Amino acid sequence: MNGVLNVHKPLGMTSSDVVVFVRRAWHFKKVGHGGTLDPEAEGVLPILVGRGTRLFDAMMDMDKEYLCEITLGVVTDTQDSTGQVLERRPVRAEREALETALEAFHGPIEQVPPMYSAIKMQGKKLYELARSGQTVERKARNVEIYGLQVISDKGEGRFDLWVRCSKGTYIRTLCHDIGEALGCGAHMSALKRLRSGPFCLEQSVSLETIQNAAEDPDSLLIPMDKVLEHWPRVHVREEYHKKLVNGNTLPPEAALEAVPEEPFLVYGPEGLVGIGKRDEAYFRIKTMLI
């Protein structure tokens, strides 16, 4: 069994908890996830099964879409509602002021990763250092916000925001930084992932559905090339098939199509072989999927 499962992760579970659940429900050994979703968040969590685990790098590059709740006037040490309150400030910003502040966060921006994150420094994860009372200097990272808007005003300084962003974006840090821009501070009080790459919430499946499909997991698995269907495809001539599956570098005449510069899916006579990479005029398999 190989492919990707579009799971609706419930609140309270870690991404690793969902991996363990699928592994036990389907009695599979090779299961992973395609991008962490924190326990206090719910929504789309791609689960990689079998050779689908080899798509991890490709999955991490995909953009994401979220619905988040921002609460103005309250700053926490984790930048979300699970942390300790550091400050309470008066809130004078209304929806119009928030919408104006959001304009500065469109496009490429820099984010300083929060201390409560899984990034490793000094051989330890940042959240481990934070829990021991340490704070270390973190380098800002470049991310991109493709879309950001206010969806609703829920009163008492709480607003729902829609966000579409690049990989590596911390939504709680985005909320924190928006609060600083307004001068009143803020934290992320709720989060739902609506989309991760081609996987959307409307087509995700519950843990109960996964459990009930234990006898026929293929009915829920999405084929690997379907996941990357927006990528270009290159078909290799039959006489080069053996060299292809052995990982050899191939000349351009081995392909039936022009070999693109960006990553592409490679097919042999029997179907999908892997993810290809161009090296000047030549090309080879970068990630074998068979």
- Give per-residue pLDDT as tens, 2-24: 899 999 999 999 999 999 999 99
Distance CA 145, CA 167 (A): 10
pLDDT at residue number 120: 72
Q: State whether CATH 2.30.130.10 applies to domain 231-288.
A: yes
pLDDT at 256: 93
Q: Given 3.10.129.10, 3.30.2350.10, 3.90.226.10, 3.60.21.10, which CATH number is that of 64-196?
A: 3.30.2350.10
Same fold, 64-196 and 231-288: no
Single pTM value for the model = 0.89
Q: Compute the average pLDDT of residues 200-224.
A: 94
Q: What pLDDT is recorded for position 129?
A: 65
Q: What is the pLDDT of residue 108?
A: 97
- Active-site residue list: 38
3-62+198-226, CATH topology level: Pseudouridine synthase (3.30.2350)
Domain boundaries, the chain: 3-62+198-226, 64-196, 231-288
pLDDT tens-digit profile of 62-101? Answer: 999 999 999 999 999 999 999 999 999 999 889 999 999 9
pLDDT, one tens digit per residue, over 112-168 is: 887 666 677 766 676 766 677 767 777 889 999 999 999 999 999 999 999 999 999
What confidence score (pLDDT) does residue 142 get? Answer: 95
